[in-house]
């Protein structure tokens, strides 16, 4: 049995021995080609199935075959045989082993083929290694031969020389070490000198060099202690750098800042330096604001030093707000200017360092710095604006004087402009708070101005203020700062662009950072007054005119104006000057804060409306006779009614502010004939209103440029077309009252009733009432000359007086003619003769030719000549005459036709009812 197993083992050795050819031999390549050819011959569609079967067969191989390379698989297989051998089972095992062997051989060959390139590379490396080993071997043999030669030739003296050279080298190394130690020990003194000279970069370089050198001698105790000292010195130097960096927030020094940045660059802390710089700026804002506020707070209200900034702002007295605000603004300006210089320094440094793009770390640092300076300005400005807002809006500015409020507003406006230039910030919160506070203050101030005007109207003496001939509102100090803006707007006649913004239109770029370092935009924020030169000091203190030649007429028969009067100063009162000053103050607010321009312009228009209403109220309070009712302008009356309804609040239950009507406390003798019913005061009052209207016209273009919405622009245009334009219409009702009271027209009417209009023959002489009427007019002008001797009457005043007289004349003649109950043809001719004679006389003294309303009288006289058939049409077409006057014509024309007279009378009554 043992012999049989031995034979079987030999058989298995012969059958299953794996012959792996040597890599690179001819047998290897032959077998590879055979295997690869046999693999290619196999059908493609069976490839996946074969791979699957191969994998299953490989997985069935016993794991012991893969555990060790010296594994005896023959012995392993024989030991697996049972004690009773089965030929068929053995054959199956042999076939299975053969198949597994083929599969393993195939996979092994595939792996060899796949790694053939790597194998070739390794073979090349092996060849190179063999060559290197051969060269090294030759060098070793050569060195060995040279050593043998030296052993035979070198003597004892030579060895001693070599020993001395070695000692010299050691001594030199020791000397260098001692010098290095000496330099390290002197570092502290040298470092103090460099820091005192502000040469921080060189000091840092010295410290780093010494620290690195000390590490080479750390085995010495003195050097170990020195290393600790150098480390402490480095920390102290960094603290000193941080102190210098913090000082840059208030006083930027280009040289010192360059040295500090170079020192941080040597330390490798460029980014940390930028972070520290921004932290110092933030800290500087907070510390400076607290320090400034503490200088102005009321110490009685501050209990401890731990109060918040908002609480400290509330403790600042109102009278100290402006000095405190200016001081804080100057400090903030200094910080902003320093920050901008630092940013410019880094921008220039970045432009210089762009040449060294190979230094990636430097590039990253510069990008980090740029990002910091993009974000930093907005944060710093936000902190500043918060401090400014807390200081300003924690105070009660409604109690401020106008100039003080205007100064605060100017400072806030400058901050808004600086914010846009510094970091492109609109400072929206500051703008909104400023606008809200300004609106509250302005409406209160406007109400007080109207109340002040009421007092002025009640106490006004209506005497002319002696101003120079060329006076206008631009000469007032209130218009000094905005004069150029208004005149530029008037000259260009440009309307306001509807797409422009508030307060951006008031911002000019690059305006403030052009200031030098020793001057800030807040240095001139102090109340400054300008000298006015508007009064005519050459005039007599009690009169505007010093002699009679200044009046508008030279004798009783000449009622026209002289050429010199064109150069006379305007008639205006102190109240007029006050209104113009208020206009200048209002426009100052618009110039600073354009966002409230619409409110300001509306209130500015109300000043003129109140002036117009007050003059009309005070000088038309006396009753106007019915005969002169035509002097009232319908347009004027509608404007007065509108002002009364919208501006003058007469209802005590209304919660809106009440603007009461002025009451003439100063004695105005409107009924006293001795002073011609206060004709002088009437003329001064009305002409001052007209002059004020002319000044408002100078502001028209500028006011229109301040408005944004179309609705406001339209309202302003309506104000000028209606209210300002109607001011001249006030002359007729005011002057007409004087005419009606001064000229005894009732006597004229009485004389006309006594005239016999039923004469049969045509008269060659006019009636006596004509001469009486003309004499009344002449006497009136004589009295007018005496009553207005201290003022002058310009062309417009005289024209207005004559227009009022013309109304009176036409009314008297028509009324007198209508009193005639019966009238003959000769009587009608007498009417024509009287009126013609009157007109020929009046034209010699009247500057207006023809006299206004003349055609009304002529048409009325001609109506007496109408046939009965045309009378009905004439009556319908001439409703400008009164019912009584029309009825008089009907009665005279239809004396013999009662039926027609009754018909026309009924027609008049129906039209009157309608």
Q: Does residue 244 or residue 580 have the better pLDDT?
A: 580
Domain-embedded: residue 511: no
Secondary structure string (H, E, C) spanning 636-679: HHHHHHHHHHHCCCCCCCCCCCCCCCCCCCCCCCCCCCCCCCCH
419 with 449, same domain: the answer is no
Does some domain include residue 426?
A: yes
Dump pLDDT digits (tens) for 252-269: 888 888 888 877 887 788
Give the CA dihedral 758, 763, 767, 768, nearest 10 degrees.
-120
Mean of the pLDDT values across residues 31-49?
A: 47
Report pLDDT for 358: 52
Domain edge (last residue) among 115, 150, 170: 170
- Range 721-728 average pLDDT: 93
Q: What is the pLDDT of residues 130-186, one digit of tens each?
A: 999 999 999 999 989 888 887 777 666 666 777 788 888 888 877 776 666 666 555
The residues pairing with 555 across neighbouring beta strands, listed in sequence order, are 558
Residues 6 or more apart in contact with residue 453 via CB below 8 angstroms: 575, 578, 579, 607, 610, 611, 614, 662
Residues spanned by the domain of 753: 743-815+825-863
Q: Is pLDDT above 80 for 249?
A: yes
Q: What is the mean pLDDT of residues 836-844?
A: 89
Residue 78 maps to a domain: no
- Structural domain includes residue 526: no
The answer to whether residues 424 and 459 belong to one domain is no
CA Rg value for the chain: 58
Q: How confident is the model at residue 34 (pLDDT cuts 50, 70, 90)?
A: very low
Quote the pLDDT of residue 197: 54
Asked if residue 406 and residue 426 are part of one domain, the reply reads: yes
* Phi-psi category of residue 853: left, alpha or beta, with phi > 0 → left and psi -120 to 50 → alpha: left
* Whether residue 467 is found in the same domain as residue 368: no
Identify whether residues 267 and 391 lie together within a single domain.
yes
Q: How confident is the model at residue 353 (pLDDT cuts 50, 70, 90)?
A: low
Q: Is the pLDDT of residue 560 over 60?
A: no
Report the range of poorest mean pLDDT among 106-110, 491-495, 732-736, 823-827. 491-495
Q: Tell whether the model's pLDDT for residue 727 goes beyond 90.
A: yes
pLDDT of residue 396: 81
pLDDT per residue as tens digits for the range 206-240? 555 565 555 555 555 555 555 566 666 666 777 77
- Place 537 in a pLDDT band, splitting at 50, 70 and 90: low
| Contacts of residue 753, Cβ cutoff 8 Å, sequence gap at least 6 | 816, 819
415-424, 495-504, 808-817: range with lowest mean pLDDT: 495-504
- Indicate the helix (H) or strand (E) that contains 488: helix 483-492
CA 371, distance to chain mean position in Å, is 26
Quote the pLDDT of residue 554: 41
Helix 221-247 with 270-294: angle, nearest 10 deg: 50
Report which listed range, 163-172, 417-426, 860-869, is most confident.
417-426
Mean pLDDT within 854-883? 81
Same domain, 311 and 423: yes
Q: Tell me which range, 114-118, 235-239, 608-612, 882-886, is most confidently predicted by mean pLDDT.
A: 608-612
pLDDT value for 18? 45
**Spatial separation of the C-alpha atoms in residues 892 and 180, rounded to whole Å:** 142
CB 477 within 8 A of CB 530: yes
pLDDT above 80: residue 354: no
Q: What is the pLDDT of residues 440-475, one digit of tens each?
A: 999 999 999 999 999 999 888 898 888 888 888 888
Query: Does residue 506 lie in a domain region?
Result: no
Q: What is the mean pLDDT of residues 329-342?
A: 90
Residue 668 pLDDT = 72
The whole-chain average pLDDT of the chain stands at: 78
Residue 120 lies in a domain: yes
Give mean pLDDT, residues 391-413: 87
Q: Does residue 843 share a domain with residue 777?
A: yes
Amino acid 19: pLDDT: 46
Question: Which of 641, 575, 585, 633 shows the shortest CA–CA distance to 608?
Answer: 575
Q: Is residue 543 very low, low, confident or very high in pLDDT (cuts 50, 70, 90)?
A: very low
What pLDDT, on a 0 to 100 scale, did the predictor assign at position 528? 53
Is the confidence at residue 381, as pLDDT, over 90?
Answer: yes
- C-alpha–C-alpha distance, residues 137 and 536, integer Å: 124
Question: Per residue in 657-712, pLDDT tens?
Answer: 568 888 876 667 777 878 888 889 999 999 999 999 999 999 999 999 888 888 99
> Is the predicted pLDDT of residue 625 greater than 80, yes or no?
no
Q: Which of 372-376, 559-563, 839-843 comes out lowest in average pLDDT? A: 559-563
**In the predicted structure, residue 357 carries a pLDDT above the cut 90:** no
Residue 307 binned pLDDT confidence (cut-offs 50, 70, 90): confident
Residue that wins the pLDDT comparison between 189 and 685: 685
For residues 782 and 628, which has the higher predicted lDDT (pLDDT)?
Answer: 782
How many Å separate Cα 143 from the centre of its chain? 90
Same domain, 367 and 478: no
| Burial category of 790 from C-beta neighbours within 10 Å (exposed 0-12, middle 13-18, buried 19 and up) | middle
366 and 477 co-located in one domain: no
Tell me what pLDDT residue 303 has.
63
For the entire predicted model, the pTM comes to 0.70
Tokens representing 283 are 């800290």
Report the pLDDT averaged over residues 400-421: 89
Rounded CA separation 866/722 (Å): 41
Contacts of residue 87, Cβ cutoff 8 Å, sequence gap at least 6 = none
- Pick from 133-137, 415-419, 508-512: least confident: 508-512
Peptide bond connecting 355 to the previous residue in cis, omega within 30 degrees of 0 = no
Tell whether the model's pLDDT for residue 284 goes beyond 80.
yes
Report how many domains make up the chain: 5
- The full length of the chain comes to 914
- Residues 6+ positions from 294 with CB-CB distance below 8 Å: 312
On whether residue 40 sits in a domain, the answer given is no
**pLDDT higher than 50, residue 103:** yes
Q: Is the pLDDT of residue 785 over 70?
A: yes
* pLDDT for res 111: 85
Q: Are residues 802 and 879 in the same domain?
A: no
Pair (612, 709) in one structural domain: yes
Examine the domain organization and report whether 754 and 680 are in the same domain.
no
CB-CB contact of 227 with 211 (8 Å): yes
Distance CA 441, CA 434 (A): 10
- The contacts of residue 463 (CB under 8 Å, 6+ apart) are 573, 681, 684
Whole-number pLDDT of residue 510: 46
Give residue 730's pLDDT.
92
Predicted pLDDT of residue 527: 52
């Amino acid at each position: 049995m043992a012999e049989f197993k031995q034979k079987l083992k030999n058989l298995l050795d012969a059958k299953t021995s794996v012959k792996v050819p040597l890599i690179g031999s001819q047998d290897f390549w032959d077998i590879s080609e055979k295997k690869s050819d046999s693999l290619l011959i196999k059908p493609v569609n069976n490839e996946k199935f074969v791979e699957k079967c191969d994998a299953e067969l490989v997985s069935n191989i016993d794991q012991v075959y893969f555990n060790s390379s010296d594994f005896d698989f023959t012995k392993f297989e024989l030991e697996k045989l049972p004690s009773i051998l089965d030929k068929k089972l053995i054959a199956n095992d042999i076939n299975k082993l053969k198949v597994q062997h083929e599969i393993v051989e195939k996979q092994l060959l595939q792996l060899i083929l796949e790694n053939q390139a790597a194998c070739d590379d390794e073979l090349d490396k092996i060849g190179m290694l063999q060559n290197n080993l051969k060269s090294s071997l030759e060098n070793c043999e050569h060195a060995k031969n040279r050593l043998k030669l030296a052993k035979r030739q070198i003597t004892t003296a030579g060895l001693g020389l070599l020993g001395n050279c070695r000692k010299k080298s050691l001594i030199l190394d020791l000397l260098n070490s001692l010098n290095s130690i000496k330099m390290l020990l002197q570092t502290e003194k040298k470092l103090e000198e460099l820091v005192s000279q502000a040469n921080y970069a060189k000091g840092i370089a010295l410290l780093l060099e010494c620290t690195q050198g000390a590490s080479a001698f750390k085995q010495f105790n003195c050097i170990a202690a020195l290393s600790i000292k150098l480390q402490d010195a480095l920390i102290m130097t960094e603290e000193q750098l941080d102190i210098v960096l913090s000082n840059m927030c208030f006083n930027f020094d280009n040289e010192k800042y360059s040295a500090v940045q170079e020192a941080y660059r040597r330390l490798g802390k460029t980014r940390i330096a930028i972070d520290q710089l921004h932290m110092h700026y933030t800290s500087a804002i907070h510390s400076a604001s607290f320090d400034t506020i503490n200088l102005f707070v009321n110490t009685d209200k501050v209990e401890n030093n731990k109060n918040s900034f908002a609480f400290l702002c509330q403790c600042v007295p109102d009278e100290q707000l402006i000095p405190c605000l200016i001081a804080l603004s100057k400090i903030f300006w200094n910080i902003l200017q320093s920050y901008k210089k630092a940013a410019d320094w880094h921008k220039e440094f970045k432009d210089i360092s762009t040449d060294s793009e190979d230094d990636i770390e430097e590039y990253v640092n510069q990008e980090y710095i740029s990002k910091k300076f993009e974000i930093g300005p907005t944060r710093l400005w936000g902190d500043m604006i918060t401090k400014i807002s807390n200081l300003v809006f924690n105070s009660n500015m409604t109690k401020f004087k106008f100039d003080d409020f205007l100064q605060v507003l100017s400072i806030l406006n400058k901050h808004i402009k600086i914010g846009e230039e510094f970091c492109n910030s609109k400072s929206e919160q500051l703008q909104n708070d400023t606008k809200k506070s300004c609106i509250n203050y302005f409406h209160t101030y406007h109400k007080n101005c109207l109340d002040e005007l009421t007092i002025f109207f009640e106490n006004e003496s209506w005497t002319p203020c002696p101003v120079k001939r060329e006076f206008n509102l631009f000469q007032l100090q209130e218009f000094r700062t905005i004069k150029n803006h208004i005149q530029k707007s008037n000259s260009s006649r440009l309307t306001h662009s509807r797409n422009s913004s508030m307060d951006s239109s008031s911002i000019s770029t690059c305006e403030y950072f052009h200031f030098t370092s020793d001057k800030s935009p807040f240095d001139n924020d102090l109340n400054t007054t300008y000298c006015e030169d508007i009064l005519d000091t050459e005039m007599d203190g009690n009169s505007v005119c010093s002699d009679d030649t200044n009046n508008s007429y030279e004798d009783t028969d000449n009622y026209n104006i002289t050429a010199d009067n064109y150069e006379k100063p305007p008639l205006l009162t102190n109240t007029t000057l006050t209104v113009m000053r208020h206009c200048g103050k209002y426009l100052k607010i618009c110039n600073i804060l354009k966002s409230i321009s619409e409110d300001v312009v509306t209130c500015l228009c109300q000043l003129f409306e109140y002036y117009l209403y007050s003059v009309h109220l005070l000088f038309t309070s006396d009753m106007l006779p019915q005969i002169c009712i035509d002097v009232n302008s319908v347009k004027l009356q509608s404007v007065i009614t509108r002002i009364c309804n919208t501006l003058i609040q007469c209802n005590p239950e209304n919660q809106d502010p009440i603007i009461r009507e002025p009451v003439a406390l100063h004695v105005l003798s409107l009924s006293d004939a001795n002073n011609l019913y206060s004709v002088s005061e009437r003329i001064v009052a009305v002409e001052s209103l007209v002059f004020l209207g002319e000044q408002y016209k100078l502001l028209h273009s500028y006011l229109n440029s301040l408005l944004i919405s179309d609705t406001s622009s339209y309202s302003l245009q309506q104000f000028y077309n209606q209210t300002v334009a109607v001011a001249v219409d006030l002359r007729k009702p005011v002057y007409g009252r004087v005419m009606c009271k001064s000229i005894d027209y009732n006597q004229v009417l009485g004389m006309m009733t006594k005239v016999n209009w039923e004469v049969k023959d045509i008269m060659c002489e006019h009636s006596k009432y004509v001469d009486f009427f003309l004499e009344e007019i002449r006497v009136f002008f004589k009295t007018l000359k005496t009553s207005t001797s201290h003022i002058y009457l310009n062309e417009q005043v005289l024209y207005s007086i004559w227009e009022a007289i013309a109304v009176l004349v036409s009314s008297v003649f028509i009324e007198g003619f209508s009193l005639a109950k019966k009238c003959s043809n000769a009587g009608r001719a007498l009417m024509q003769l009287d009126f013609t004679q009157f007109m020929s006389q009046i034209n010699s003294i009247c500057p207006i030719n023809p006299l206004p309303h003349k055609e009304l009288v002529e048409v009325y006289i001609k109506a007496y000549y109408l046939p009965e058939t045309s009378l009905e049409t004439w009556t319908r077409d001439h409703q400008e005459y009164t019912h009584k006057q029309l009825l008089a014509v009907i009665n005279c024309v239809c004396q013999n036709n009662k039926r027609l007279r009754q018909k026309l009378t009924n027609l008049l009554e129906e039209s009157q009812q309608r």
